[in-house]
Amino acid sequence: MRRISIVVLIVILALTSQAFAMTGRDVMDKAKDIINDGDSMHALMGMDLIDDNGEVQARKIEVWGITYNQAKDLSKVVMEFRTPASIKGTRFLQVENDGRDDDKWIYLPSLGRVRRISSSEGSKSFVGSDFTYDDMSSREVDEDSHKILREEKLGDYDCYVVESIPKNSKDAQYAKRISWVTKEHFVPVRVEMYSKKTGDLQKLLTVKHNIKKIDGIWTVFDALMKDMESGHSTKLYIIRGKSGAPYIEYNKKISPARFTKRFLKTGR
């Protein structure tokens, strides 16, 4: 499954080093192409909303994903909030499309109906988090112009630092993005997002350097999105059991009925 939102924590397939000189486009192509969850993915995740004083509101989410079009590598993802009670039963469905925007729907128990998320709502917060609906979708590489600014070490990893500027600013949430992409895995472990209004750093996404294999697939276990203006941040992470093993599995059979608006409303 490819190009599933980073809000489900970026699952990576390792690649060998390249013998030729990389361009910014090459790096971002590989950062897109190596996202591979197998045919399906199921995980139990935490979402911590952290205010500027460090106080945490913890949430628990169950996530399922499938590849529904093998030829074009198109995927579907559904998320269901399990706790706390104030958000329990909220469900979100995203369907990746070929050549057009992703389809997104959300079910809020308080409203009792499924609502489609329009493209004009892309910059709105996803369920009160620091991720927007547009953050939940991947951008096609061709939508931006990419340039390698430099190569440098970030934590344990040697990285390409790539600047990505939208070709059409009207269709983009940010003025530009700067990504630190590992040379070893082509994982974006730091992404700076700059405001279209001020040009200043608006949000910062960071990934801890604990990339490990689960069922033979490289897996990133947590990511933090910080709003630089408010100081608020959102941490997404795979929950671990008492044994320390993460609650994530790949290539297990998942009913296609789960990825429907009916499931959003009924939970079955």
Measure Cα distances from 192 to 98, 249, 264 in Å: 27, 30, 33
What value does the mean pLDDT take over residues 124-146?
91
Q: How does pLDDT run across 56-70, given as a tens digit for each residue?
A: 999 999 999 998 888
Q: How does pLDDT run across 144-188, given as a tens digit for each residue?
A: 999 999 999 999 899 999 999 999 998 899 999 999 999 988 889
pLDDT above 90 covers a percentage of the chain that reads 65
Q: How does pLDDT run across 220-254, given as a tens digit for each residue?
A: 889 999 999 999 999 999 999 888 889 999 999 99
Asked if residues 125 and 117 have their Cβ atoms less than 8 Å apart, the reply is no
Q: Per the structure block, which two tokens stand in for 111?
A: 């409203």
Asked if residues 179 and 164 have their Cβ atoms less than 8 Å apart, the reply is yes
According to the model, what pLDDT value does residue 11 have?
38
At 258, phi and psi to the nearest 5?
-70, -20
What value does the mean pLDDT take over residues 36-59?
91
According to the model, what pLDDT value does residue 184 have?
87
What value does the mean pLDDT take over residues 63-86?
91
At 230, phi and psi to the nearest 5?
-90, -20
Q: Which residue has the higher pLDDT, 100 or 65?
A: 65
- What sign for the dihedral angle of Cα 157, 160, 163, 167? negative
Bond prior to 84 in cis (omega within 30° of 0): yes
Measure Cα distances from 135 to 19, 158, 163, 197, 234 in Å: 33, 25, 17, 18, 13
